Structure 1
Amino acid sequence: MGVSTAAARTWVERWERQQQRYAVEREERFTVICDVVEHVCAGRARPLLLDLGCGPGSLSARLARRLPGAETVAVDRDPVLLELARAHHGDAARYVDAVIGEDGWTDGLGLRRGADAAVSTTALHYLPAPVLLETYRALAALLRPGGALVNGDHFPPDLGPCSYLTAHVGRRRAERTGDHRHEDWESWWRAAAADPELADLFERRGRSGPSSGDDGANHHLSVHRHAELLRQAGFSHVAPVWQVGDSSVLVALKD
């Protein structure tokens, strides 16, 4: 039995507010990602987009509003978040259950042509460097020539005093805007787990093991390290195009 539209709307709206605690200038970051994708896809009749670690469809929905003619394939492994996405943002994307980084994870995407862009927000930092490198290689193979990988996340600078300063700037920005007053990650998940309408989904979630973000792994790598891995994976041109504190949008272009 699927989640009702009303329940999905409630939980997705709470998710949006909860995420503002963690993603500095989250809406601006989404806008920048859409700006890049729109530019890369200019002149393409029906661009193909990949949304990696899509959660409940936040970025897919924004991309659908900006590029209404695009085809988006959105990927996540969490059954709760995927079902909320299908129920609330069902028209924005085709949602696929897959574990990013596992062997053969791209096989189930059902792609019949090269993708124009792959996007992600606060999802890929859970992958350790060796898995991230193979994931970047897989994405390079999926993208058409001239396609882009656009990743919005927290990228600390290389270890040192500046690493703490950039994180501090982000925290103070959140305090000034009041974003820190929203419910946190753990509170959202506890409340959602108590909703009887989501009980079956949480049972499935428990059987499938930890999902991204709740397995204790957190491998935030610097922009410099991501750029190294991206170049090893075949992306010749890599650069950050936006940053507030340690929240950045990193773009890699395929020749």
Structure 2
Amino acid sequence: MTHYLADVADAWQESWDRQQEAFLPDREHRIAAMLDAVAAVAPEGRPALLDLAGGTGTIALRALDRFPHARVTVVDQDPVLLTLAEAALGDRARIVAADLSRPSWTDALPHRDYDAVLTATALHWLTPDRLAVLYGELHGVLRAGGLFANADHMPDEGLPGLTKRLLEAADARREARYATGAALSWRDWWARVAADPRLAALYAERSKIYPTAHGSAEWTPPAGWHLAALRTAGFTETGLLWRGAADATVAAVA
């Protein structure tokens, strides 16, 4: 059956990508680095992959472009983003609604032997205690030797002054893009969603789940915190897979 948003699925994905790239100009680089690591742990090219807090399915779509025979699951709680993911991915992926702030989220997974769990710019909305526990839960859904990678805001604690200047320059570039209409801001993108008759009901549902902008305070510790938490969670190898300015991708092997 054709999804009711099939005719605009690509346009919404492009709109989301442009909005996100205003924050993350090197967004594609970090995803490519994660997919290179997936290829290393699943060289047969048929990985079982979990796109964690996957939103519109950004990682899933790129993974399927690279690994057409991948077995992909997308997990998120946002009804708007999950619907856009469903429209874009169709029957190529399992779409799962689950709340990562609750340990029961793993009950919704179709299986627990993933080759890789990938996530990008999402887990910083969890509290430190919850994120540390989540890392242990992720260890439990990966096969032995499986990969976890988290790309997020992870400033280098050894470069505070330089990081501040890099962030100021990035802020200026982003504001220039907003001013010229080259990209929508986060607020403006969601205003477009709310105004779309086919998404308005989902947006209202989303507003009940997230009564404030994101539902919790943003928390962005340095990469070292993540690496220590992953080791405590039982991962055998941990390290940096990618870095760009104040962002990094940590990787861990189960």
Q: TM-score higher than 0.5 here?
A: yes
Q: Which amino acid is the alignment partner of residue 55 of structure 1?
A: G
Counterpart Cα distance in 1 of 2:92 and 2:33: 19
Pair 176,189 (structure 1): closer, same or farther in 2 beyond 3 Å = closer
Equivalent in the alignment of 2:35: 34
Q: CA separation of 1:239/1:9 partners in 2, compared to 1, >3 Å: closer, same or farther?
A: same
Using the alignment, how far apart are the partners of 1:177 and 1:188 within structure 2? Answer: 14
**1:246, CA displacement in angstroms?**
1.4
- Identity across matched positions, percent: 35
**Distance apart, 1:53 and its partner CA:** 0.8
Matched, 1:203 2:207: no
The answer on whether the counterparts of 2:78 and 2:206 sit within 8 Å (CA) in structure 1 is yes
Q: Does 1:59 align with 2:59?
A: yes
Contact 2:125 2:214 in 1 (8 A): no
User: Partner residue of 1:13?
Assistant: 14
- Shift, 1:214, TM fit: 1.8
- In the alignment of these two chains, the number of paired residues is 251
Matched with 2:133 is: 134
Q: Does 1:145 align with 2:144?
A: yes
Deviation readout 1:17-63 (Å, 9 max, x if unpaired): 1000111311111211111111111136x321111111111110000
Question: 1:159-182 CA deviation, whole Å, 9 max, x = no partner?
Answer: 843442453465577689999941
Structure 1, unmatched stretches of 5+, are: none
Q: Larger relative contact order (C-alpha < 8 A, sep ≥ 6)?
A: 1
Q: Residues 206-245 of structure 1 correspond to what in structure 2 (within 5 A)?
A: 206-210=207-211, 214-245=214-245
Assess if the C-alpha contact under 8 Å between 1:11 and 1:192 holds in 2.
no
Kindly indicate whether the alpha-carbon contact (under 8 Å) linking 2:126 and 2:216 is maintained by their aligned counterparts in 1: no
Distance across 2 between alignment mates of 1:243 and 1:169:
17
8 Å CA contact 1:79, 1:205 repeated in 2: yes
- What amino acid maps onto 2:32 in structure 1? T
Matched residue SS, 1:106: helix
Structure 2 regions of 5+ residues with no counterpart?
none
Checking the alignment, whether the CA contact within 8 Å between 2:155 and 2:248 is kept in structure 1 is no
Report deviation, 1:125.
1.1
Indicate the larger mover: 86-95 or 113-122.
86-95
Counterpart of 2:117 in structure 1 is: 118
Q: Is the 8 A contact 2:22 2:177 kept in 1?
A: no
Change in 2 beyond 3 A, CA 1:214/1:175? closer
For residues 134-183 of structure 1, the C-alpha deviation after alignment (integer angstroms, 9 at most, x for no partner) is 10000001111111101111211228434424534655776899999411
TM-score by length of 2: 0.89
Report if aligned partners of 1:116, 1:147 keep a CA contact under 8 Å in 2: yes
CA–CA separation in structure 2 for the residues paired with 1:238 and 1:176: 37
Shift in alpha-carbon separation, 1:151–1:52, aligned structure 2, 3 A:
same
Give 1:203 deviation, angstroms.
2.6
With over 3 angstroms needed to count, the CA separation of the structure-2 counterparts of 1:158 and 1:86, relative to structure 1, is same
Q: The residue matched to 1:89 in structure 2 has which SS?
A: helix
Counterpart code for 1:62? R
Aligned equivalents of 1:93 and 1:105: distance in 2? 18
Q: TM (normalized to structure 1)?
A: 0.89
- What displacement does 1:70 show? 1.0
Q: Residues 209-249 of structure 1: CA distance to partner in whole angstroms, max 9, x if unpaired?
A: 448x6224201111011111111111121111211111222
| Alignment partners' CA distance in 2, 1:104 and 1:136 | 14
Go from structure 1 to structure 2 and tell me whether the alpha carbon gap of 1:173 and 1:143 turns closer, same or farther (over 3 Å shift): farther
